[in-house]
Amino acid sequence: MNSTREEQPFRPHLGFVVFFIALGVLFLATGFNQPSIANMRTVDLLRLLGTGANLGAGLTLLVLHFVLRRHG
């Protein structure tokens, strides 16, 4: 049975998941080359926050993809 686009549930595309996780891992690898936390500057803290945001967004979209896939 064919369904229209309006009837299909929204599922995040896996491309977004791969993009956010890859970007987060890249930032994390860059952060490992930085000095210790005691010597961190503001830009290092912002990079760390960006890393967490990208990894969090990627993992959230990945979980949503599988949850909506099961229910949809």
When divided into structural domains, the chain yields a total of: 1
Percent of the chain scoring above 70 in pLDDT? 76
Domain holding 45, by residue range, is 14-71
Residues 25, 55 contacting (CB under 8 angstroms): yes
Whether the Cβ atoms of residue 57 and residue 23 lie closer than 8 Å to each other: no
| Domain presence at residue 3 | no
How many C-alpha atoms does 19 have within 13 Å on its Cβ side? 6
Q: pLDDT, tens digit, for every residue of 13-35? A: 778 888 888 888 888 888 777 76
The answer as to whether 7 is a domain residue is no
Residue 4, in any domain of the structure: no
